[in-house]
Amino acid sequence: MSAHPNKRSTKWIAAFAAAGVLAVTGAGSAAFAADLTTVDDTKVGSITVHKYELPDTGFGPEGTGKQLDAADVAGLTPLPGVTFQVERLTEYDLTTNAGWTALQGLSLQDAIDTATKTLAGSVVTDANGEAAFGSLPLGAYLVTETAAPTGVIASKPFVITVPLTDPDNKNAWMYDVHVYPKNQIANAEKTAEDSESTAIGDDVVWSILGDIPVSDPIDGYKIVDVLDPRLSYDPANPAVLSLDGSATALVEGVDYTLTAVQNAGAWTITAEFTAAGRAKLVTVKAADYDARVKLVIPTTVNEIGDGNIENTALVYPNLPSFDITPGEPGGPLEPTDESKWGKVEILKHEQGDKAELLAGAQFQVFTSQADADAQTNPVTINGQDTWTTAANGVTSIEGLRQSGWADGAAVAPGEEGYQEYWIVEVKAPAGYELLAEPIKVTVGDPTTQAIIEVPNALDNGGFELPFTGGEFNSALLYGAGSIILAGVVLMAVRRRKAAADN
């Protein structure tokens, strides 16, 4: 199949904490270098979250808890409109060594699920991607991304302490902490592969590509595709989930589950990764940053309707997105593509008299000039390969792929995928001549495409053939008969004379 550059695609963001963000067991380990220096319990601190997209070249500068220089974040794109919530873990007094020791034994999951917390504030990142939390009592804080614009997926919660050991002076504390949960920008796209298809009943193969989030573990990942009712799906020829750009194989029933359910004529295909499959995703992403999930769904077109068969998939890249309505912040990715179909309508009338409409003319359609000339390989739609004009002189050949649309993109004449058609009259109405040559046509939007007028000439151009009756012809025949009879008599006379002479 040919590929075209202008695919529609949707983006989502997966956020991950940089160094300096405590998101695992051992949350207090960064501070032990400063145990001999007393924490000033009269101070308050601050946490400033800097939200950036993760560049394609990698994870960006290393976070230390200090504010990065402008050069360190040059080229990074800030993300405004992301809501962060900060909660203080009240059981840990970080003005004491005992408090740090206790914090070291806390897991992130326990901080989320069971630790006692008080809300310190909720802030939305500004145009610079910053959310500042000031006047914070010293302690450990759980930072959670609670809301984000469409296309941004909430980052994993993390624990950060105020204060932190100053990375430039290991004998000092740092009370104003900066964290940079940088983000991965990932594409999900959908393509309709139909350039080799020409008529209803042919295949349209939908390919959905979704990037793998940079997360360990990946808590959920699934793709759901609700097919248009005009698309048929055969469970005996099922969809296949794989990893694009990786040799790692995925096994249905082990790495993912695949379900296909039909409701009110529409099929819903769901491919969901199991825990084993998600572990593979983590490994594959670490080995190849550009590896992606690929779901291929084979379908066939069963009718054209308005001609535009749009198909939108839902890519859920983490567990929280499973419960969010599509289009809402943090919800699934929605890549879309379409396949376009149309028809050819023929109006048959007498040459020079458009009011004389002709029934009974029969036509076939071909996808090449050579096939049209040889009348081989006619297009077949739902078992029909010949179309006959009705009493109004019209026949409609519905279910041809639009000429200027292939593999989800517009194509121009001469480009790969551009499809022209040839109409051949295989039977003329009684009293009329067949068309002398095929008619080349293009198929466009069925709601606007004009009808094709095909006039038929009368037999022999409207002239009567000789020797077919009438006074002139009868006289001609009578004269010819007389001449023949006279010749026969003359020949007989000559034979008798020759016999008498002998």
Name the one residue in this structure whose structure tokens are 């109409």.
423
CA distances from 362 to 79, 396, 425, 439 (A): 63, 11, 6, 14
Measured between alpha carbons, how far is 200 from 382 in angstroms, rounded to an integer? 7
3-class DSSP assignment, residue 25: coil
Measured between alpha carbons, how far is 390 from 86 in angstroms, rounded to an integer? 74
Token pair, residue 158, equals 């993390």
Measured between alpha carbons, how far is 193 from 401 in angstroms, rounded to an integer? 12
**pTM for this predicted structure:** 0.64
* pLDDT, position 146: 80
The answer to whether 369 and 438 have CB atoms below 8 angstroms apart is: yes
Q: Which has the closest alpha carbon to 158: 140, 135, 133?
A: 140
Instruction: Give one word for 417, left, alpha or beta, with left for phi > 0 and alpha for psi -120 to 50.
Output: left
CATH number corresponding to 341-462? 2.60.40.10
CA distances from 93 to 39, 101, 134, 137, 207 (A): 11, 10, 19, 10, 54
Token pair, residue 470, equals 């009438």
* pLDDT, position 177: 96
The answer to whether 219 and 319 have CB atoms below 8 angstroms apart is: yes
* pLDDT, position 157: 83
Question: 17-181 adopts what CATH topology?
Answer: Immunoglobulin-like (2.60.40)
* pLDDT, position 92: 96
Q: Do domains 187-338 and 341-462 have the same CATH topology?
A: yes
Measured between alpha carbons, how far is 30 from 317 in angstroms, rounded to an integer? 31
Measured between alpha carbons, how far is 120 from 131 in angstroms, rounded to an integer? 13
Q: Which has the closest alpha carbon to 244: 203, 277, 279, 211?
A: 211
Q: DSSP character for 437? A: S
> Is CATH 2.60.40.740 what the domain over 187-338 is classified as, yes or no?
yes
3-class DSSP assignment, residue 252: strand
Question: Which residues, given as ranges, of the chain have pLDDT below 50?
Answer: 1-36, 462-463, 469-472, 474-477
> Would you call 97 exposed, middle or buried from its count of C-beta atoms within 10 A (0-12, 13-18, 19+)?
middle
Domain edges within the chain: 17-181, 187-338, 341-462, 472-502
Token pair, residue 337, equals 């593509």
Measured between alpha carbons, how far is 364 from 348 in angstroms, rounded to an integer? 14
* pLDDT, position 367: 97
CA distances from 259 to 223, 271, 273, 311, 390 (A): 11, 7, 12, 18, 45
Token pair, residue 336, equals 């879309």
The helices-and-strands tally (H runs, E runs) of the chain is 6, 31
Measured between alpha carbons, how far is 449 from 355 in angstroms, rounded to an integer? 22
Token pair, residue 280, equals 């593979």
